[in-house]
Amino acid sequence: MNAAGRSYADRSNAGSVLAQPLRPPSAARIAAHLGLFVLGGVVAVTGALVQSGWFPGGLLLALAGAAGLFLGGMRATGGRAGAVVPAAGWMIAVVLLTASRPEGDFLFAAGAGSYLFLLGGMTVAVMCATLGRGRQPDGVAARLGK
């Protein structure tokens, strides 16, 4: 016990985020993540069509759209899960689109643009999911001297 009457274990756990009990996510957070997952699949399908239609510019547009979704999801939800969830939806949609059908139909041709879209999208997803938040505090406490 210290002078304030609290034990050292209580004092050390009070500020630690890892020591807090786990709470289930709210319904709004679950709905936001489900929406981001579906939106990731939509961005993957549209990106697959755009990148092959207008090759040099379409590829950049498709990757910029994916990056915008991943970063926007991270900012909207306030955590890295907001970037990982749409990236997972994007990845699942792309993997399903690369599989050829028994009839011989396919969406991705074996060309440089398709491989750049696949590898570039995965790279953008990893980069966006591992970005840290800025060091500036939000709100009124932006100036710490006040």
Contact 38/99 with Cβ under 8 angstroms?
A: no
- The whole-number pLDDT of residue 13 equals 47
One-letter amino acid at 45 equals V
- Render each residue's pLDDT in the chain as its tens digit; 146 residues: 555 555 555 544 455 667 778 888 788 888 999 999 999 999 999 988 888 777 788 889 999 999 999 999 988 888 888 889 999 999 999 888 887 767 766 666 667 777 888 888 899 889 888 876 655 555 565 555 65
- The whole-number pLDDT of residue 26 equals 85
- The whole-number pLDDT of residue 22 equals 81
The structure's pTM equals 0.72
CA distance 69 to 85: 10
